[in-house]
Amino acid sequence: MMRTRPLKVALLGCGVVGSEVARIMTTHSEDLAARIGAPVELAGVAVRRAGRVREGIAPELITTDAAALVAREDIDVVVEVIGGIEPARALITSAFEHGASVVTANKALLAEDGSALHEAAEKHGVDLYYEAAVAAAIPLVRPLRESLAGDTVNRVLGIVNGTTNFILDRMDSTGAGYSEALDEATALGYAEADPTADVEGFDAAAKAAILAGIAFHTRVRLDDVHREGITEVTAADIASARRMGCTVKLLAICERAADGRSVTARVHPAMIPLTHPLASVREAYNAVFVEAEAAGRLMFYGPGAGGSPTASAVLGDLVAACRNKLSGSRGPGESAYAQLPVSPMGEVVTRYHISLDVADKPGVLAQCATVFAEHGVSIDTVRQQGKGGEASLVVVTHRAPDAALSATVEALRNLDTVRGVASIMRVEGE
Ligand code: HSE
């Protein structure tokens, strides 16, 4: 039976995502009502600047007073798509205190303060949903939180930032340098005017923190995630990767240690073999592998950004939150019972591809090999390129702790016969 009194939604933010949420709520109102079991109504839209005409939204719904909107006693669900830490955190907290559930796309806030938000939602008996915070339309949060709740996830590995994937894809397909590819991404609207959050890996690291937290039932914050962006990736790195039958991707990698007693979370560029499914993820698409004990390897792929794909995830959460409101229940809260320690990057076991500019004379290879041996790092392959003043050694290691690998690189830099370290990149996905 359909309830006739509508559920009321407050929308915070009416940019690319918010306006699309409002549009779909209007154009699909009958379907949404049928799926929820009650009509759902946009009761107010908080914006920074009033006065602009917002197509499809009645002007009387627009307000610049977001605090008053979330404090209204008749609001059932608050949708937060303004992003950033404040005022989003204060508004979400106030929404909980006033009995509203919250749907948010705010990865930065969740990665910084997710546990406090979950606690506040639980205290007030309401929901906190955030499918849109990670890879937009691609279902990841719900599969990890619900579908795989009976399994043990050991690894989450993926491309979770579209802007950087577009840039690296362009560098790979055209031979362009980083700046040129960034300019193209900016001109096409993939990169923002200030691309720092994307190219320095902050966006991907926030997503990695959220995914690791859910996957491993452990609190993981942004500060726990080792982060390297793509600004140092050169055309030479991409060319080296090609010679090895690899491409370069910015990867988010969350892993449970082999003994199951700790976890790690990291974001950095890495070479992956062209045969790996992630290598074929082009342009601004996202893709995530989840490896679980019983399920095996699952791959999730799709558009990880943009107004419509993000709105799709927001609306899925909105339907869930509304259904719970109607039935007087709550969705799953935070699951952090495992409380596994998050190990530092130095303890991650990985492989390095290192390109060294060296003097071309007898004994240099042996000298370099000794440095690897002294640090307990085993060499997989070594190849000399060029001659004389152009000579370089390309070394690929076996798996070793990251701390040992980086100490090896530092020691190599100090050798008289090493003119410079041209490129260092981790190798993943083999
Ligand atoms: N800027 C992100 C990306 C989308 O390029 O994937 C929002 O997290």
pLDDT score for 16 = 94
Q: What is the mean pLDDT of each run of 10 residues along the chain (430 residues)?
A: 88 96 97 97 95 87 97 98 97 98 97 97 98 96 98 98 98 97 95 95 98 98 98 95 95 97 98 96 97 98 95 98 97 97 97 94 94 98 87 95 98 95 92
**Which atom of ligand 1 sits closest to the CA of residue 160?**
6
Q: How far apart are the first and last CA of the chain?
A: 54
Question: Which protein residue has the closest C-alpha to ligand 1 atom 2?
Answer: 161
What is the distance between the alpha carbons of residues 66 and 184, in angstroms, rounded to a whole number? 36
> Which superfamily is assigned to 141-303 in CATH?
Dihydrodipicolinate Reductase; domain 2 (3.30.360.10)
CB–CB of 40/322 below 8 Å? yes
pLDDT score for 41 = 97
Report the separation in Å between the CA atom of 191 and the middle of ligand 1, taken as the mean of its atom positions.
9
pLDDT score for 385 = 86
Report the separation in Å between the CA atom of 198 and the middle of ligand 1, taken as the mean of its atom positions.
7
Domain 346-427 part of CATH 3.75.10.10 = no
CB–CB of 33/39 below 8 Å? yes
Catalytic positions are: 207
pLDDT score for 430 = 75
**Which atom of ligand 1 sits closest to the CA of residue 192?**
1
Pocket of ligand 1 (CB under 6 A): 161-163, 198, 203, 304-305
Q: Per-domain residue ranges for the chain?
A: 7-136+308-327, 141-303, 346-427
pLDDT score for 31 = 98
Report the separation in Å between the CA atom of 379 and the middle of ligand 1, taken as the mean of its atom positions.
37
Residue in 163, 251, 310 to alter for ligand 1 test, most ligand atoms within 8 A of Cβ: 163
**Which atom of ligand 1 sits closest to the CA of residue 304?**
6
For the stretch 173-204, what's the b/e string if a residue is b when 16 or more beta carbons lie within 10 angstroms of its beta carbon?
eeebebeebbebbeeeebbeeebebbbbbbbb
Place of tokens 């079991």: 37
**Which atom of ligand 1 sits closest to the CA of residue 164?**
5
Residue in 203, 283, 301 to alter for ligand 1 test, most ligand atoms within 8 A of Cβ: 203
pLDDT score for 389 = 80
Question: Which protein residue has the closest C-alpha to ligand 1 atom 4?
Answer: 305
Report the separation in Å between the CA atom of 121 and the middle of ligand 1, taken as the mean of its atom positions.
26
pLDDT score for 2 = 76
> Which superfamily is assigned to 7-136+308-327 in CATH?
NAD(P)-binding Rossmann-like Domain (3.40.50.720)
Distance of CA 295 to the CA centre of its chain: 22
Give me 121's structure tokens: 């939602």
Beta strands in 238-338 (DSSP E): 246-256, 263-273, 285-292, 296-303
pLDDT score for 387 = 84
CB–CB of 355/413 below 8 Å? no
Report the separation in Å between the CA atom of 202 and the middle of ligand 1, taken as the mean of its atom positions.
10
**Which atom of ligand 1 sits closest to the CA of residue 163?**
5
Report the separation in Å between the CA atom of 140 and the middle of ligand 1, taken as the mean of its atom positions.
15
